[in-house]
Chains A and B, each alone.
Chain A
Amino acid sequence: MSWDNAYESLTEEHDVSGHWAFGTGFADALAGVGHDVPADVDRAELAAYCVMLGDDALVFAQRLSEWCSNAPELEEDVALANIALDLLGQARMLLTRAGEVDPTVRPAAAPEHVPDEDALAYFRDERAFRNVRMVEQEPGDFAETVARLLVFGCWRLALFERLAGSRDPVLSAIAAKGVKELAYHRDHAAQWALRLGDGTEFSRERMRAGLDRVWPFVAELFTPHPVETRLAEAGVAVDPAELRSTVDDVLDRVLVAAGLPRPETPALPAAAGLAGRHGVHTEPMGYLLAEMQHIARSHPAAVW
């Protein structure tokens, strides 16, 4: 297969083993997956829930990928990039599912040729993102990233373990698959927390300080949005408030093993009762979106 120039191959539809690299020509993260929605489930609410869980993964994947080429050692560049890739894969499926069950979640600003997952990732403004505020924070130092990955990993693993029993067959399958990945993420962070916390005085102090900076965002993880509450009652979603004791139990075991105190930094309050799940974010979110979205928005006709 030949093209006049290298760039042509990027936009060609080339089915006959002409793919030049993985990651091009993505059509649909749920291509060929069953599309049924249980009849009594509110489609708009299901889509809103998929956006919440999808945005958590998308935004954290973006933050974790900032470590690539900056981590303390090469193996960690690779590890964090792999974890980011797993989360990005979960985000793609969840955002695709959202667009599929309720086409109105698709932002009007997105060009027609852009698939739903990209429309949602690149053409929404900050207030339309529904991720928890923890994942949008700047990476900080390595210990802070380990702390965030530990808390987020414990929480999302507990959530997905329950979500695997969802009445929505697609959510259930995404969650069951994600459990295996999230267990690796959590254990990776736990082992680093142990190594740093139980290491030298210096590494212990850095790990302790990292946990302190992450802790204000923990309470929000367990605060249900009305959509989560209603869908949990319908057997579709998980009420995050129910995860608290499971997550606390695992975190406490890691902290005890690492000889680290349980942080006491106070929770960051919601703004007039509104936080990430309502689209109210912290300052770093705007900068993150500017970096993540600017190419897609500057070249809206681009195809990749």
Chain B
Amino acid sequence: MVSAVPTSRRLSTEDLERARLVAERVCDPELPVLTLADLGVLRDVAVEAGRVVVTITPTYSGCPALDAMRADLRSGLAAEGFPDVEVRTALHPAWTTDWISEEGRRKLAEHGIAPPARLGPRAAGPVPLRLEPPSATVRCPRCGSADTVELSRFGATACKALRRCQDCREPFEHVKEI
């Protein structure tokens, strides 16, 4: 294992910047077109007592990819000379699709997955009951048509819904707003 930065050495600001870049480049195991930074699950990269501390947050409570993310962060950083890494999980504040970056949204659309709409801050009070599928326009990532329908609110992974374009007739995935 490469270990260009001995753990005994104090990590400099430059080391921290380099570690941050490495962590930001790690890809999401389930949406590999996005990095953890694009997805907004990478919350912080810091240096504490000579070790790199990375903080991530799960997208959903049952997200099975979280352990894979931890392992990928550790191995990615180890390969770049940071053998001493702690990955912390922050449950609060809860992840929201609003944290997916502009770059992330562009990459999703490019790969045929419709990005989520912006939710903005949630209004106070109980979550309103929705008896109709959401009316917000979701454009077909293939032909750009706004005439699309929801086939199922639950897709191949917890974070995606399944839709179909009424114009080009192609089904596509949509990262649903949460």
Interface residues of A (CB under 8 A from B): 14-17, 19, 22-27, 30-33, 75-76, 78-79, 81-83, 85-90, 92-93, 157-158, 161, 169-170, 172-174, 176-181, 183-184, 186-188, 190-191, 194, 246, 250, 253-254, 257
Contact = CB atoms under 8 A, between A and B. Distances in A.
B154 A161 contact: no
Interface string B107-149: 0000000000000000000110111110000000000000000
Describe B's contact surface by its main secondary structure: loop
Interface of B: 29-30, 55, 58, 60-65, 67-68, 70-72, 74-75, 78, 86-96, 126-127, 129-133, 151-156, 158, 162, 176, 178
A27 B67 CA distance: 8
A246 B126 contact: yes
Contacts of A173: 91-92, 94
Contacts of A176: 91-94
B154 A89 contact: no
Q: Which of A89, A169, A179 has the most CB of B within 10 A?
A: A89
B72 A22 contact: no
Nearest to A57: B61
Q: Which of A14, A25, A82, A173 has the most CB of B within 10 A?
A: A82
A118 B141 CA distance: 42
Contacts, number: 134
Contact of B88 (A15, A24, A32, A257): A32
A257 B64 CA distance: 36
Contact of A17 (B30, B75, B89, B90): B75
Contact of A161 (B67, B126, B153, B156): B126
B178 A75 contact: no
Given A22-B29, A78-B152, A17 B127 contact: no
Contacts of A82: 154-155, 158
B89 A85 contact: no
Contact of A186 (B29, B61, B95, B129): B129
Nearest to A194: B131
B61 A181 contact: yes
Given A25-B67, A86-B62, 19 more contacts: A22-B30, A22-B67, A25-B71, A27-B67, A32-B88, A33-B89, A33-B91, A75-B151, A75-B152, A78-B152, A92-B61, A169-B92, A173-B92, A174-B91, A177-B60, A178-B61, A180-B94, A184-B178, A191-B133
Q: Which of B55, B63, B133, B153 has the most CB of A within 10 A?
A: B153
Contact of A179 (B91, B92, B127, B132): B127
Given A17-B75, A184-B178, A187-B130, A78 B60 contact: no
Nearest first, the 3 closest Cβ-Cβ pairs linking A and B are A89-B62, A89-B61, A75-B152
A253 B126 CA distance: 14
A47 B29 CA distance: 33
A25 B68 CA distance: 9
B153 A257 contact: no
Nearest to A27: B67
Nearest to B157: A82
B96 to A, nearest CB: 8
Q: Which of B30, B130, B162 has the most CB of A within 10 A?
A: B130
24 contacts: A15-B71, A16-B75, A17-B72, A22-B30, A31-B89, A75-B152, A75-B154, A82-B154, A83-B154, A85-B158, A89-B60, A92-B61, A93-B91, A170-B91, A173-B92, A174-B61, A176-B91, A179-B94, A181-B61, A184-B154, A188-B154, A190-B129, A190-B131, A253-B129
Nearest to B95: A177
B27 to A, nearest CB: 11
